[in-house]
Chain A
Amino acid sequence: MTRTSITLEHVGLDLPIFDVSGQSLKKRVLRAGRRNRIAEDNAGVVIVRALDDISFTLEAGDRLGLIGANGAGKSTLLRVMAGIYPPTAGNVHTLGKSVPLLDISLGMEDQSTGRQNIRLRGLLLGMSDKEIRAKTEEIAEFTELNDYLDLPLRTYSTGMRVRLGFAISTAVDAEILLLDEVLSVGDAKFQQKAKARLEGLHRRAEIVVIALHSNEAIRNACNKAIWLDRGKLMAIGNTAEVTAAYEAHATQA
């Protein structure tokens, strides 16, 4: 049996931001006929270094929290670990099935019923038809939407959508779970239920990575933490140390 693990080696990620001119074929063709170096350099493509030389290893049992200011690269790092963005430098080695839960409203189709949406999202998350069939009832029960599940999604309130999205996403069996701040969902009563369900999900997964704003939540849920700042790894280590360092930095600034 292979051990579940993720290893990042000197991972860097440059995100090209194409403005209107950068994405135009016309500009490309016009530029090709010109021998002006300055114009070529001003190609209109701005590159943002989203991640810079990040290395670490996670093994089965690890619960990693990502902290940092907005735009520090937390979500990007999750996407790299999920294999959505291939890194532009370095390597990512993943052993085990990883499931990213980045956007709660992923693959929700307004004209389809709740049940059809369960199937769609299930397939998108890589579940087999058999798995989906086995889990549909459990998902339906958790959402407490009852008969609404047979109505098209456009009749749902925002809260009902969130419930459904959350229930489907968290029904998946993942060895590596990558979460992006999915904790704040629904009304107070549902929050309690959601919390319990997330904890169950954490227990089933062998590795969990969460991007969170609340240090409190990270201290509760994680044994390791990474502090990112503008794409750079500022600190990695046990949760208490890293969150303390981050808090000291945040109050200082």
Chain B
Amino acid sequence: MAALGIATADLKASIKAWRLWSLLGWIEIRQRYARSKLGPFWLTISMGVVIGAIALVFGTLFHQDMATYLPMLSTGMVTWTLLSTIITEGCNVYISSDKYIRQVRTPRLIYVLQAMWRNFIIFLHNFVIVLIVLGFYGIKSWETMPLFFPGLIMLLLNAVWMAMVVGLFSARFRDLPQIVVAFMQVMYFITPIMFAASALKKHEWLITYNPFAYLINLVRQPLLGEFPTMLTWNVVVGMTLVGWVFALTLTGRYYKRIPYWL
């Protein structure tokens, strides 16, 4: 319980220091794309090319109708990229901020929020693709659209607690980032992004027991004119609550050790 208190206090201070982590997040983006004319839109372009290629190959292989396949694929890819990069980059939140952590006393979770913010900005750039695809094939239903926003918030909340956990363990065990990258790669293939969930008839358990599938669905379905099921909501809300308590307790428990691990 004391551990939870330490982490919650840090979380409050971290949120209050939003100016700092949003600036740090911006700086990283600026650094990555310094002096390139298109900046982060290069990511949008490469994402667009990848989506186009997958649509061409898999759409043909699975005999998909482009009018349903392309919107599903693009929303899925853009959402997945947001989720998976927050988690894989989450491994390095403390490791790569060691110069700050060892020089000044700032709240520690700002570094997790910084990774979230950075990837959210990139997500907004990538979202252009979704807008283009949806604009081209038409929006199925405006009614479901508002649910996109709470869905996105839930996805971000979950990505943040996962980043908190892997970031903490990665600081101590430096093999973990590699494991996480490999794990997310596998999840990319078994989460319904490139294929429709209904295509997995015999192995439906891959989706039933895949927490990422629920997170993706919660964001994607409203964009595709579907209402996420009650089950999806329940699973995600449950995951958020359990995950946050777990991540905060863990962070609080090892809070003091972080500077020693770097």
Show the binding face of A for B, using Cβ within 8 Å. Answer: 15-16, 18, 23-26, 28, 79, 82-86, 100, 102-103, 106-107, 109-112, 116, 119-120, 123-126, 129
B105 touches A100 (CB 8 A): yes
Which of chain B's residues have a CB closer than 8 A to the CB of A85? 259-260
A84 touches B102 (CB 8 A): yes
Interface readout for B241-262 with A: 1 if CB under 8 Å, 0 if not? 0000000000000001001110
B248 to chain A minimum Cβ distance, whole angstroms, is 18
B173 touches A124 (CB 8 A): no
Which of chain A's residues have a CB closer than 8 A to the CB of B174? 23-24
Interface membership of B179, Cβ < 8 A? yes
Alpha-carbon distance between A103 and B99 when the two chains are bound, in angstroms: 10
A25 touches B105 (CB 8 A): no
In-complex Cβ contact of A106 among B31, B34, B100 (8 A): B100
Task: Name which residue of chain A comes closest to B105, CB basis.
Answer: A83
In-complex Cβ contact of B260 among A16, A109, A119, A120 (8 A): A16
Within 88-104 of B, Cβ neighbours of A (below 8 Å) are at 99-104
B105 touches A28 (CB 8 A): no
Show the binding face of B for A, using Cβ within 8 Å. Answer: 17, 19-20, 23-24, 27, 30-31, 34, 99-106, 172-176, 179, 256, 259-261
B18 to chain A minimum Cβ distance, whole angstroms, is 10
In-complex Cβ contact of B23 among A83, A84, A102, A120 (8 A): A120
A23 touches B172 (CB 8 A): yes
B27 touches A125 (CB 8 A): no
A25 touches B99 (CB 8 A): no
A129 touches B30 (CB 8 A): no
Known: A84-B101, A120-B27. 6 other contacts (CB 8 A): A24-B174, A25-B179, A82-B104, A111-B31, A123-B23, A124-B20
A25 touches B175 (CB 8 A): yes
A123 touches B17 (CB 8 A): yes
A106 touches B104 (CB 8 A): yes
- Please judge, given known A-B contacts A15-B260, A86-B256, whether A25 and B23 are in contact too, CB under 8 Å: no
A194 to chain B minimum Cβ distance, whole angstroms, is 20
Alpha-carbon distance between A116 and B99 when the two chains are bound, in angstroms: 19
Task: Name which residue of chain B comes closest to A123, CB basis.
Answer: B20
In-complex Cβ contact of A24 among B34, B99, B106, B173 (8 A): B173
A28 touches B173 (CB 8 A): yes
A250 to chain B minimum Cβ distance, whole angstroms, is 29
A112 touches B27 (CB 8 A): yes
B175 touches A26 (CB 8 A): yes
Alpha-carbon distance between A203 and B153 when the two chains are bound, in angstroms: 49
A103 touches B103 (CB 8 A): yes
Task: Name which residue of chain B comes closest to A14, CB basis.
Answer: B260
A122 to chain B minimum Cβ distance, whole angstroms, is 10
Which of chain B's residues have a CB closer than 8 A to the CB of A107? 99-100, 103-104
B103 touches A84 (CB 8 A): yes
- 4 interchain residue pairs of minimum CB distance: A25-B173, A86-B256, A123-B20, A25-B175
Alpha-carbon distance between A110 and B27 when the two chains are bound, in angstroms: 10
Which of chain A's residues have a CB closer than 8 A to the CB of B23? 119-120, 123
- Please judge, given known A-B contacts A15-B260, A86-B256, whether A100 and B175 are in contact too, CB under 8 Å: no
Alpha-carbon distance between A174 and B248 when the two chains are bound, in angstroms: 31
Which of chain A's residues have a CB closer than 8 A to the CB of B259? 84-86
Alpha-carbon distance between A125 and B101 when the two chains are bound, in angstroms: 12
